[in-house]
Chain A
């Protein structure tokens, strides 16, 4: 990547300026949760976790632990039940979700007791003194087995299926009846997670005089969870103050899953009557933080002779683990408007079942529903090509949503905002050198090598509709519950008495550089340089502007949050322009903001410094025109396109839709089964690019996550439910040695629905890349069925089975 030096211009957006975050982070001056000071009387928590995947808890004896000098309190499920309410569950089902095991453990690693002590070492000593009497039960690991098992995870539910819904869009039966061919795939998508290098952390206090909690946690949103946590703690939202630290060591969705621990540690602080701090360790994180869902899918297509798909029939079984923890079953419904991917397929039938198993509860994880859905859909498109003897590229091309059809309403209700998919594919094929890659395959095969090419086209949704998860309810249930929709983004632009500008964003950055980009956006509006703008990214729910959609997920920053920053800055500019107009004696619409000055257009002498104008509302408010006091502007922006799911279950699950077309060449070692990525090309349309360096960072980072999911990573369980991936030596994360550099290409079709034309870009490769690599492996080995991760252990027998 070449790095262009930043130069003074009116268009800071679009430049890869250096990040303001970096100087502190590079010199060891970051302020992550475990770096911040705590009150001197703070205690430290350690959590006893279940070694069993499924067992009844007969008895917990904490006597000896409580006797250990330095131990202040021990909490068990009974204490938690006494002091709190269960965490809200997103489906209508008689199941309770607590942040700690209550009478029964349902996954290996589930919290059973918490010790609070003077330091972490003593707290961990005390864990060994707790005596728990377990009666082991049969564990259910395979979601398909769970569907029909007599062993129940939650007895009141009477089965292990927490939700079973069918959907019908268009006329799938007719399309299948007429179809020339039927092609189907069955897949099992494994469980994995993006495992940020910083683990969870919580510091909680309770003030009995006010019955209020004050919590600092490296939570990332969505702030829908604030309501869930407050309800569980049995206080109104204004008595549950949630703050986030200035820096966070990555999240990728995963730090949404700290929320049950926020409740748990808050209760510890209440019982111990002192502040309590807890930092998760890596074993805890891998075993029990959060996992992406596993999914078993059967997907069938009705296909015309030319490869055009006229209908899809999904049967999806979602493995959410031991509890349906909020916001699940959102993983299953995040893609509801995008069931047809990048294709113009008008008929869709769906059955969605949410099943409980004896595994860690699932939650947000980069890609969120996309990897699972596209693994089935794009494997299917490859199978269409193979079974009909067509070129896979032709099958993709003939099914794409055509150019000029945007905004395009998908069969299931998604509104694809913008794009030119055929043009993006053509450009990628040309500039990425697909023809040359095919020649490489030919010569590799001629030399006796196992070489394959995979292709994928996906739509990358961003800016989630807060109402999409209600698609799990029937239309009648939704009517009763009241509509949920929208995606409120928030930003505040303020000027201080010295005339300098501070921006607050409620996007809870986890390392993506939000502060830098928000400064660029603001600087462009106000005619300043980004370094003149300070951006604050930490959140305080008692002080800052926020709403349920706040936070760092669904790739909403560039599209929604930067849009809100732009609008707030424009509002500030409007007021400042009126003030300037009064002072400079020109109409407000002739005022311009350039180079740190505010002046009359075309008359550089008639201008005042920005800082002076901006400070005036503080020093001389009486001289401002009516309503033009320019001190602080807060914007709440929610796009009107994000409507609640309709009477026919049509669901516009996301606001923006990027497009990705990937292809790759892989070679598999005949002897070892090792997979080598020979070439990887990824074409992106993420609308307007605000910071090319960061966009490249998101794509490269997402690609590495996707490669990990495709080839190395799995939260593995033995058949009896024991957890097998408790260290980074067992859960293999790819390193620089394994991750090749993809060729990244771009086209830009700005989104008409966002203020700056930007769309999300952070998650796309997690959706497209695993299946692209799998398609290449299937091509190399000539096999129909293939599941992830593509480890040598999985590939070696497939190589051996091939006919020579």
Chain B
């Protein structure tokens, strides 16, 4: 890692949803602020800035991470996926996103980006979770609107559909 000085801005280069992008950040800048206000990717949300609510969850190099607990400079060189990268193309939704829509698994949508990112990675690694598995996994996210019932249903529905896709492939 290069030497950084506190008062100075440094260039941070990341691959964001498949595209190489860069921006300037002071060493203390949070990755959430960098994504949202420097790179203009506002899909990732900030609910607490202390690592509990999960709204800011993104995929850094294939693993879920709290962007609010990460400094922008730490992400230099990383491959990042955010909610903006989930849909296969504009106007279409991923299997998981579509399940969320059909099950009314979001209301205000503020927690949703983080939950989608977590579940996207989780269902890749855990294709056949039980309801209890999903509920425990989701324990890392706060949603104040839905009571979680439809989120759990959407996750299980998406898991089933994704298994079907995998089988047919």
Interface string of B130-162 (1 = CB under 8 A from A): 000011101111111111111111000000000
Main secondary structure of the interface of B (DSSP, over half): loop
CA distance A542 to B1 in the complex (A): 53
Q: A25-B106, A28-B42, A28-B84 are in contact. Are A282 and B49 (CB under 8 A)?
A: yes
Query: Nearest-CB distance from A1 to chain B (Å)?
Result: 6
CA distance A249 to B29 in the complex (A): 24
Q: Does A198 interact with chain B (Cβ within 8 Å)? A: yes
Q: Does B122 interact with chain A (Cβ within 8 Å)? A: no
Q: Does A789 interact with chain B (Cβ within 8 Å)? A: no
Interface string of A717-746 (1 = CB under 8 A from B): 000000000011100010111110100000
Q: A25-B112, A281-B49, A727-B50 are in contact. Are A197 and B143 (CB under 8 A)?
A: yes
Chain B residue numbers with a CB within 8 Å of A28 are 41-44, 82-84, 86, 113
Q: Does B39 interact with chain A (Cβ within 8 Å)? A: no
Chain B residue numbers with a CB within 8 Å of A738 are 139
B104 interface neighbour in A16, A195, A196, A741, Cβ under 8 Å: A16
A741 interface neighbour in B42, B136, B149, Cβ under 8 Å: B149
Which single residue of chain A is at the shortest CB-CB distance from B44?
A28
Which residues 14-62 of A have a CB within 8 angstroms of B? 16, 18-19, 21-23, 25-30, 32, 34-35
Are A249 and B110 in contact, CB atoms less than 8 angstroms apart?
A: yes
Q: Which of B44, B86, B110 has the most CB of A within 10 A?
A: B110
B contact residues, total (Cβ < 8 Å) = 57
- Can you list 17 A-B contacts with CB-CB less than 8 angstroms, sorted by A residue number? A1-B153, A19-B104, A26-B116, A250-B110, A252-B144, A281-B49, A511-B108, A513-B107, A697-B145, A700-B149, A701-B147, A704-B148, A729-B50, A735-B140, A736-B139, A736-B148, A739-B148
Query: Nearest-CB distance from B120 to chain A (Å)?
Result: 12
Interface string of A186-208 (1 = CB under 8 A from B): 00000000111111000000000
Chain B residue numbers with a CB within 8 Å of A247 are 108-109
Q: Does A696 interact with chain B (Cβ within 8 Å)? A: yes
Are A121 and B28 in contact, CB atoms less than 8 angstroms apart?
A: yes
Q: Which of B43, B49, B86, B108 has the most CB of A within 10 A?
A: B108
Chain A residue numbers with a CB within 8 Å of B129 are none
Which residues 84-102 of B have a CB within 8 angstroms of A? 84, 86-87, 93, 97, 100-102
Q: Does A512 interact with chain B (Cβ within 8 Å)? A: yes
Chain A residue numbers with a CB within 8 Å of B48 are 282, 727-728
Which residues 34-88 of B have a CB within 8 angstroms of A? 36, 41-50, 52-53, 55, 82-84, 86-87
CA distance A522 to B2 in the complex (A): 60
Q: Does A593 interact with chain B (Cβ within 8 Å)? A: no
Query: Nearest-CB distance from A45 to chain B (Å)?
Result: 15
Q: Does B103 interact with chain A (Cβ within 8 Å)? A: yes
Q: Does A213 interact with chain B (Cβ within 8 Å)? A: no
Q: Hey, which bits of chain B sit against chain A, CB under 8 A?
A: 26, 28-29, 36, 41-50, 52-53, 55, 82-84, 86-87, 93, 97, 100-104, 106-113, 116, 134-136, 138-153
Query: Nearest-CB distance from A249 to chain B (Å)?
Result: 3
CA distance A249 to B26 in the complex (A): 28
Query: Nearest-CB distance from B81 to chain A (Å)?
Result: 11
Q: A22-B109, A249-B110, A736-B151 are in contact. Are A27 and B43 (CB under 8 A)?
A: yes
CA distance A19 to B145 in the complex (A): 15
Q: A121-B29, A728-B53 are in contact. Are A198 and B108 (CB under 8 A)?
A: yes
Which single residue of chain A is at the shortest CB-CB distance from B84?
A28
Query: Nearest-CB distance from B121 to chain A (Å)?
Result: 16
Which residues 680-718 of A have a CB within 8 angstroms of B? 693-694, 696-697, 699-705
Which single residue of chain B is at the shortest CB-CB distance from A24?
B109
Are B53 and A1 in contact, CB atoms less than 8 angstroms apart?
A: no
In order of increasing CB-CB distance, the 6 nearest A-B pairs are A28-B43, A511-B108, A249-B110, A25-B109, A700-B147, A704-B147
Are B108 and A736 in contact, CB atoms less than 8 angstroms apart?
A: no
Q: Which of B26, B36, B86, B144 has the most CB of A within 10 A?
A: B144
Which single residue of chain B is at the shortest CB-CB distance from A729?
B52
Are A29 and B50 in contact, CB atoms less than 8 angstroms apart?
A: no
Are A21 and B136 in contact, CB atoms less than 8 angstroms apart?
A: no
Q: Does A492 interact with chain B (Cβ within 8 Å)? A: no
Which single residue of chain A is at the shortest CB-CB distance from B83?
A28
Chain B residue numbers with a CB within 8 Å of A462 are none
Chain B residue numbers with a CB within 8 Å of A197 are 45, 47, 53, 55, 108, 110-111, 142-144
Chain B residue numbers with a CB within 8 Å of A513 are 104, 107
Interface string of A508-524 (1 = CB under 8 A from B): 00111100000000000
CA distance A370 to B144 in the complex (A): 19
Q: Does A248 interact with chain B (Cβ within 8 Å)? A: yes
CA distance A199 to B55 in the complex (A): 12
Query: Nearest-CB distance from B155 to chain A (Å)?
Result: 9
**Other A-B pairs beyond A22-B106, A511-B107, A735-B141, 20, CB < 8 Å:** A19-B104, A25-B109, A25-B112, A26-B87, A28-B41, A28-B82, A28-B83, A121-B26, A197-B53, A197-B144, A249-B45, A511-B109, A511-B145, A512-B107, A701-B144, A728-B48, A728-B142, A729-B52, A736-B138, A739-B147
CA distance A26 to B82 in the complex (A): 11
CA distance A1 to B100 in the complex (A): 12
Chain A residue numbers with a CB within 8 Å of B102 are 3, 18
Query: Nearest-CB distance from B132 to chain A (Å)?
Result: 9
Q: Which of B52, B86, B107 has the most CB of A within 10 A?
A: B107
Chain A residue numbers with a CB within 8 Å of B52 are 727-729
Are B107 and A198 in contact, CB atoms less than 8 angstroms apart?
A: no
Are B144 and A196 in contact, CB atoms less than 8 angstroms apart?
A: yes
Are B93 and A198 in contact, CB atoms less than 8 angstroms apart?
A: no
Chain B residue numbers with a CB within 8 Å of A699 are 147
Which single residue of chain B is at the shortest CB-CB distance from A22?
B101
Are B108 and A27 in contact, CB atoms less than 8 angstroms apart?
A: no
CA distance A597 to B160 in the complex (A): 41
Query: Nearest-CB distance from B41 to chain A (Å)?
Result: 7
Q: Which of A25, A248, A693, A705 has the most CB of B within 10 A?
A: A25
Chain A residue numbers with a CB within 8 Å of B82 are 28
Chain A residue numbers with a CB within 8 Å of B136 are 736-737
Query: Nearest-CB distance from B56 to chain A (Å)?
Result: 11
CA distance A196 to B147 in the complex (A): 13
Are B104 and A736 in contact, CB atoms less than 8 angstroms apart?
A: no
A736 interface neighbour in B43, B112, B134, Cβ under 8 Å: B134
Q: A30-B109, A700-B146, A736-B152 are in contact. Are A198 and B47 (CB under 8 A)?
A: yes
Are A26 and B150 in contact, CB atoms less than 8 angstroms apart?
A: no
Interface string of A299-332 (1 = CB under 8 A from B): 0000000000000000000000000000000000
